Amino acid sequence: MTDFDAGSRTSRVWTNVGLPILGVIITVTGWWAITAAFHIDPFYVPSPADVVDTFLRTPEFLLQETWTTLQRVLIGFAIAVALGLVIAVTLAASRTVERMAMPILAAINAVPKVALAPLLLVWMGFGDSPKIVMVVLVSFFPVIVSTMAGLTSTPDDLQELTRSLKASWWQTFVKVRLTWALPQVFVGLKVATPLAIIGAVIGEVVNPDRGLGSVIAGSGASNDTPLAFAALVLLAVTGVVLFYLVAGIERLLVPWRVAK
């Protein structure tokens, strides 16, 4: 961004709020125009109006399901982040552990998670826990990889500095490496946020009880495509909100990076 007037307040509001909103408006209008122009059957692709109608038929129900899914996403994401950070720090602390654990972690990550869903059903039955586990499984790996990348990216000059000060491993870790890794950690968190939602939906579609994934699974059975779209839109909105939430936290915690 090299706008000359990027500093003025109105133009900043415009770029940060106005442009994204304009993008949404253009997209929705385009969607509408296409469904209208080609007379597409709402059974295949409903128009935005159909989706809104569907939502307004049962708003409490859909919002309730959204909340259920969101809770699973948040709990699972929190566990994934905590687990990912702990694992990454352990791996970064010891070369030996890293060598031993990395192939296993990569293998776990490479397993198609959908294939695990029936197993989770067997192990944990219905309810929240298999969905939360799915969220964790899908979203922990990017956190590990990005945190490790951050922890090993300490520049040479800072390493020489701490060595020349005879800082202990722990001091170097806490005062330099960890904070230096934060921007990278947030890259991982931003990748993991949408994955967490995908994880919850996989869990709910394969093993439906409640939540937006179950709504989508149910709408397939009852041929209610607009309902499925309403659920998808709600998922998308949830994803966007979570993403900007993470970005906002990043702004708070990593001001030196964002300012650049």
Residues that bind other proteins (CB under 8 A): 155, 157-158, 160-167, 171, 175-176, 179-180, 254-257, 259-260
Q: How far is the CB of 183 from other proteins (least distance, A)?
A: 10
Contact by Cβ (8 Å): 135, 200: yes
Q: For other proteins, which is the closer residue by CB, 139 or 154?
A: 154
Distance, C-alpha 182 to centroid of its chain: 17
Q: How far is the CB of 150 from other proteins (least distance, A)?
A: 13
Q: For other proteins, which is the closer residue by CB, 99 or 163?
A: 163
Which tokens hold the place of 81? 């982040």
Q: For other proteins, which is the closer residue by CB, 174 or 241?
A: 174
H/E stretch holding 57 reads: helix 48-57
Q: How far is the CB of 189 from other proteins (least distance, A)?
A: 18
Q: For other proteins, which is the closer residue by CB, 30 or 155?
A: 155
- 247 three-state secondary structure: helix
**Size (the chain), residues:** 260
Q: For other proteins, which is the closer residue by CB, 251 or 257?
A: 257
Q: How far is the CB of 66 from other proteins (least distance, A)?
A: 37
Q: How far is the CB of 175 from other proteins (least distance, A)?
A: 7
Give the span between the Cα atoms of 66 and 213, in whole angstroms: 9
Dihedral of alpha carbons 119, 103, 109, 189, sign: positive
Q: Give 174-224 as a DSSP string.
A: IIIIHHHHHHHHHHHHHHHHHHHHHHHHHHHHHS-SSSHHHHHHHHHHTT-
